[in-house]
Amino acid sequence: MEATSSQTNGQVESSLGFFGQVNQMFDAAAAQTDHDRGVLHQIRACDNVIRFEFPIKRDDGTIQVIRGYRGEHSHHMKPTKGGIRYATSVNVDEVMALSALMSYKCAIMDVPFGGAKGGVCIDARKYSTKELKRITRRYTFELARKDFIGPGTDVPAPDYGTGKQEMAWIMDTFTRIGDEDLNALACVTGKPVGQGGVRGRTEATGRGVYYGIREACEYEKDMKRFGLEPGLEGKSIVIQGLGNVGYHAAKILDEEGGADIVGIAEIEGAIYNPDGLAVDDVVLPCDILIPAALEGVITSDNAPDIRATIVAEAANGPVTSQADDLLQNKETMVIPDVYLNAGGVTVSYFEWLRNLSHMRHGRMSRRFEERNAERILHAVDDLTTEDFDEDLLESLIERVGFGASERDLVNSGLEDTMTQAYGEIRAIREEKGVDMRTAAFISAIDKIANSYEQMGIFP
C-alpha cells in the first residue's frame, strides 16, 4: 500500500501527510479570499498522478524493478513544469504535495506553467553512472508513452538527487522518440549549456534564494520588528544541505551579499564556527537558518529549540505546518518555499523560451548594445566643454561597453522577478495582516483563479 505521508527523515508529522499539510496552508490563505468555493477546490486538487514500475539490468546482471511517479497538479497553464527527484522517500503523497507547490510557485512568480513533479524511488548514490543512465532513459520512455512529457505537455527539471546529466539523458531519450518535433529540446530544462541549457540555470535556485533573503533584509521596518539591523551584510547564516541549492545559495550569500556562513550541516555531520563541531542540524544559533535539503526537518519537536530569527525555506516543505505555527508564535520570520526557491523554475522558463526561439538570449542585441554604449560615451564627450582624458574614455568604454551576455540577462531577469514577487507578497501581508506564507498562497490563489476566469471554463 502507498504511504499516505512523506517518510522523509521520518519527520513529516500528522496523519495529514505532506499534501495535506500543503492543503492546510492553502485553506488558511483561501479563507482570506472571496473566490467561489468550487474554484478554490479546483485550484487545490491534483489533476493527474501516475505511478509505474519498470525493470532495469544492474551492472552485475541482476534485474531490479524500479518505481517511478509523475504528478501534474494543475493544467490552468500548459505545459506543466516541475523537477524530478531521485530519493528512496519518494511516494505518491510527496509527488502530489511537491506538484501543488510548483503550481503556486509558478503563479507567484508569473511564470506561465502549471505545477508538476516526478520522482524515482532510488538512492542515487547506490547506482553506477551507467545504471543511472538506464534508469533515467527508461523513466523518460515511460513518461513519453503515457503523455507525461513534452515541450507543450509537461517539462521536467532537476530536483533532489538529479542534475544536468540526468536532464541531458532525458532530452536525448525524448528527442530520439519525437525527433520530428522541432521543439523537442524544450521537453526538459536544467540541461547542460552545450545541449540547449541556459547559462545561469545551475545556480539559479541558490541565486534566487540569495535575492529573496536580500530583499527581506532590505525592509527596515520588518528587520526592526524582528530585532535585526536592515541589510544582509554581516548576518550569520546556517545552512542545512550543501547540494545544488544549498551550495550556490551559501556561495552567493557570502561572496555577493557579505553574509557570514557560520554553520553547514550535511547528511553525515555538521561544521560550525566559532564553537567547533555541532551534531544537531537545525538548532545552531544564527540570524538566518536555511534548510536546503528535504521536507519535514523542522517539526513541532525541534521548532522550540530553533535559535534563528529568520527561517529561509530553500528546500520544499522543510517546516511542517505545526512547526510553522510554533515559529510564528515565537516571532520567527519564515520566508516560504513557494517564493524563496522559485528561482529554479524562473530560469527554467528562460531556458524553455530559449529552446522554443532556437536562439541564445541576447544574440541579436549584444553587439548593438555595445555600440550604443560607445556612442553615448562619445556623445557625452562631445557635449562636455572639456575633453575627456583619452585614458578615461577608453576605460569607460571598456567598463560599460559590453552588451549583456546571456548570463547577465538571465540573472537580471531572475533578480527582477524575485524582487517584484517579494514586493507583491509583502503588500498582501501588510494589507491582510497575515504571515508571509499565507500572503504567498493568497497571491498564488488570486492569480490562478484569475486565469481560470479569463479562460472562462467555469460556466
Confirm or reject binding of residue 257 to ligand NAD (CB under 6 A). Answer: no
Q: Are 188 and 201 in contact (CB under 8 A)?
A: no
Mask of contacts with ligand NAD, 197-226, x by CB under 6 A? --------x---------------------
Q: Where are the alpha helices (DSSP H) in 307-405?
A: 321-329, 337-340, 343-357, 366-383, 390-400
Tell me the residue number closest to ligand NAD, measured at CB. 243
Residue among 99 and 341 whose Cβ is closer to ligand NAD: 341
Q: Does 341 bind ligand NAD (CB under 6 A)?
A: yes
Number of shown-chain residues binding ligand NAD (CB under 6 A) = 26
- 293 interacts with ligand NAD by CB under 6 A: yes
What is the per-residue binding string for ligand NAD in 227-256, x denoting contact by CB under 6 A?
A: -------------xxxxxxx----------
Considering the complex, what minimum distance in angstroms separates the CB of residue 349 from ligand NAD? Answer: 13
- Measure the CA–CA gap between 112 and 222, rounded to whole angstroms: 31
Q: Which amino acid is located at 92 in the chain? A: V
| Closest to ligand NAD by CB, 294 or 434 | 294
Q: Which residues are catalytic?
A: 117
- Quote the least distance from Cβ 9 to ligand NAD, whole Å: 6
Place of cell 481560470: 452
Residue whose CB is less far from ligand NAD, 23 or 346: 346
Q: Which of 159, 203, 222, 424 binds ligand NAD (CB under 6 A)?
A: 159
Q: At 83, phi and psi to the nearest 5?
A: -70, 170
Phi, psi of 298 (to 5 degrees): -110, 110
266 scored as a contact of ligand NAD (CB under 6 A): yes
Question: Which residues, including other chains, have CB under 8 Å from residue 125's CB and lie 6 or more apart?
Answer: none
CA dist., res. 25 & res. 28, Å (int): 5
Give the integer Cα–Cα distance in Å for 459 and 453: 10
Q: Apex CA 80: angle with CA 322 and CA 118, to 5°? A: 60
Q: How far is the CB of 88 from ligand NAD (least distance, A)?
A: 11
Determine whether 410 is exposed, middle or buried from the number of CB atoms within 10 Å of its CB (0-12, 13-18, 19+). Answer: buried
Q: How far apart, in whole angstroms, are the C-alpha atoms of residue 374 and residue 394? A: 10
Q: State yes or no: residue 150 binds ligand NAD (CB under 6 A).
A: no
* Contact region with ligand NAD (CB under 6 A), list: 153-161, 172-180, 327-335, 363-371: 153-161
Exposed / middle / buried, residue 338 (Cβ in 10 Å: 0-12, 13-18, 19+): buried
Q: 30 or 95: whose CB is closer to ligand NAD?
A: 95
CB of 313 to ligand NAD, least distance (A): 9
Q: What residues make contact with ligand NAD under the rule CB under 6 A? A: 9, 83, 158-161, 205, 240-246, 265-267, 281, 292-294, 314-316, 341, 344
